[in-house]
Amino acid sequence: MEQDIPFELRAPTKKALQWLNRENNSDYDLTGLVGAEKVSDLSKPFEMGLIPCDGELCVRKQVAFTPANKDFIFSQIELEAPSIPSHLDPPEGIRKEWINNELSNHEFMLLVFYRGLW
């Protein structure tokens, strides 16, 4: 994933992920970014969507990056109606039940999983 992140955003996104993990008492790995192409000036506040995953659960976290003394202060932004839902994986149990129901109706199934969406 790191090679897909623009060079100038690698350090800020790594620090933002560490901050998210501390805030949420989690062990996320970064699997995607939303809006990175809109960031043009790291010396001014900006926001980006991070797509962290922890095992099977992927979420979208919108994070504000505020420059401060050659570092950043991070804060989470709540989105009212995001185009990508915050929790990208269905609750436990629903997926298995849905797959079993669909398998009983079809000869085979093809599941496509792309950056937390399926």
pTM of the entire predicted model:
0.67
Q: Does the CA dihedral 21-60-5-46 come out positive or negative?
A: negative
Residue 78, CA distances (Å) to 19, 49, 60, 69, 102 in order:
16, 11, 10, 26, 34
The number of helices, as runs of H, and strands, as runs of E, in the chain is 2, 5
Domain definitions of the chain by residue range: 2-87
Per-residue model confidence as pLDDT tens digits over 16-64: 999 999 998 999 999 889 999 999 999 999 999 998 988 777 888 999 9
Per-residue model confidence as pLDDT tens digits over 54-63: 877 788 899 9
Say which residues have a Cβ less than 8 Å from residue 19's Cβ, sequence separation at least 6.
Answer: 63, 74
